[in-house]
């Protein structure tokens, strides 16, 4: 009996799909270290407000020990009270450290201080500190570019570098480093000339370390949230050009609690690139490169959709940019 050509094609496609799904499952569930924060030392920058504080609360609910870092001690003390109230056992600890993430000396001190105060090296590190103040390119000063590069990119690089050294030298098993980028690390448009490049840079660093740190059994993840309802978002909107607001649309900023839960969901699923909404997923699939997929079949179809939709949206953005005053 001769099998029709179309049937052979379907069988081949089915076999490829099964293999791809199996590889996805193998990578996300077996090759990657499972995410288990219970009794782990979690080190969070930007931990006094917004995503950082909400993530600390969610981790303390999972039985973790948490160190939060930010510049203002008064804000850290307030956040620590909220986090302490969510402990599930009396042995859990919350440590606060005042430090400036734009200073590599402060970053090194903060990680060493966390090690001493907590009695263990940080095993899960999440870099939530960041800022944005959108403006037209010519309205920015070069000081704006330097500051945002120091905080949004170098600040995360400083933390990851020192944390990796500590994990390596103290033989930490199953370490995790979680970078926080943005959907503006997957695309950009008018108003984000100083901010978006720093978030693209984080993507490049994370992609490199995802591969390189396998030698130390350290997993790397990167988070691409949309707008988050936080004190920083209020500041951001105060300088944001009207055309930027129009391009972004009227979608509400995400509650930081829900954002933290979305991040944890991605970590528990073993995903490398983690987003918070459908548009983020489409952008992730369109720009994934050779990084691991979250679901081969879904990622494939979203990548196909992204091409025509992206082209149309680019025309829309260019039209608005040309008309902007």
98-141 pLDDT per residue, tens: 999 999 999 999 999 999 999 999 999 999 999 999 999 999 99
**Residues 159 and 107 sit within 8 Å (Cβ to Cβ):** yes
40's CB contacts (< 8 A; 6+ apart) are: 64, 65, 123, 124
Alpha carbon distance 240, 242 (integer Å): 6
How many CB atoms neighbour CB 309 within 10 A? Answer: 14
Given the residues 153, 195, 240, 272, the one annotated as active site = 195
Total length of the chain? 325
27's CB contacts (< 8 A; 6+ apart) are: 270, 292
As given in the structure block, the two tokens for residue 263 are 């991040």
Give percent above pLDDT 90 in the chain.
82
As given in the structure block, the two tokens for residue 152 are 């949004």
**Residues 191 and 243 sit within 8 Å (Cβ to Cβ):** yes
| 39 in active site | no
Task: Work out whether strand 41-45 and strand 175-180 pair parallel, antiparallel, or are unpaired.
Answer: unpaired
pLDDT, mean of residues 242-258: 91
Q: Which of 159, 248, 158, 261 lies closest to 195 in space, CA to CA?
A: 248
To 10 degrees, what angle do helices 196-212 and 155-169 make? Answer: 20
Q: Which domains are present in the chain?
A: 27-323 (3.40.50.720)
Partners of 273 in beta bridges: 222
Which pTM was predicted?
0.89
Per-residue pLDDT reduced to its tens digit, 189-215:
999 999 999 999 999 999 999 999 999
**In 142-196, at which residue ranges do the beta strands (DSSP E only) sit?**
175-180
pLDDT of residue 231: 86
To 10 degrees, what angle do helices 104-118 and 155-169 make? Answer: 40
Given the residues 40, 135, 199, 240, the one annotated as active site = 199
Burial of 111 (0-12, 13-18, 19+ CB in 10 A): buried
| 199 in active site | yes
pLDDT of residue 13: 53
41's CB contacts (< 8 A; 6+ apart) are: 64, 65, 67, 114, 118, 120, 121, 122, 123, 124
Q: Which of 138, 12, 82, 146 lies closest to 66 in space, CA to CA?
A: 82
> In 65-103, which residue ranges form alpha helices assigned H by DSSP?
73-84
As given in the structure block, the two tokens for residue 204 are 């490049």
pLDDT, mean of residues 146-158: 97
């Amino acid at each position: 009996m001769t099998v029709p050509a179309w049937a052979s094609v379907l069988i081949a496609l089915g076999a490829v799909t099964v293999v791809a799904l199996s590889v996805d499952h193998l990578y996300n569930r077996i090759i990657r270290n499972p995410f288990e924060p219970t009794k782990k030392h979690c080190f969070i920058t930007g931990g006094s407000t917004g995503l950082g504080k909400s993530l600390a609360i969610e981790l303390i609910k999972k039985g973790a020990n948490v160190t939060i870092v930010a510049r203002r001690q008064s804000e850290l003390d307030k956040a620590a009270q909220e986090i302490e109230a969510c402990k599930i056992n009396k042995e859990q600890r919350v440590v606060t450290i005042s430090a400036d993430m734009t200073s590599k000396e402060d970053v090194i001190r903060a990680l060493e201080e966390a090690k001493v105060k907590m009695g263990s090296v940080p095993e899960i590190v999440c870099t939530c500190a960041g800022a944005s103040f959108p403006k037209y390119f010519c309205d920015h000063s070069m000081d704006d570019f330097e500051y945002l590069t120091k905080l949004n990119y170098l600040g995360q690089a400083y933390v990851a570098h020192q944390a990796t050294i500590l994990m390596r030298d103290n033989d930490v098993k199953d370490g995790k480093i979680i970078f926080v980028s943005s959907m503006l690390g997957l695309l950009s448009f008018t108003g984000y000339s100083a901010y978006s490049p720093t978030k693209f840079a984080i993507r490049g660093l994370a992609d490199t370390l995802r591969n390189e740190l396998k030698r130390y059994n350290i997993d790397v993840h990167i988070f691409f949230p949309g707008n988050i309802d936080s004190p920083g978002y209020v500041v951001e909107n105060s300088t944001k050009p009207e055309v930027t607001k129009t391009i972004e649309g009227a979608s509400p900023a995400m509650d930081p609690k829900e954002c933290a839960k979305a991040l944890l969901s991605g970590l528990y699923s073993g995903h490398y690139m983690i987003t918070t909404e459908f548009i983020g997923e489409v952008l992730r699939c369109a720009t994934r490169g050779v990084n691991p997929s979250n679901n081969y079949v879904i990622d494939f179809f979203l990548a196909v959709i992204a091409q025509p939709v992206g082209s149309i949206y680019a025309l829309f953005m260019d039209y608005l940019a040309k008309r902007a005053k």
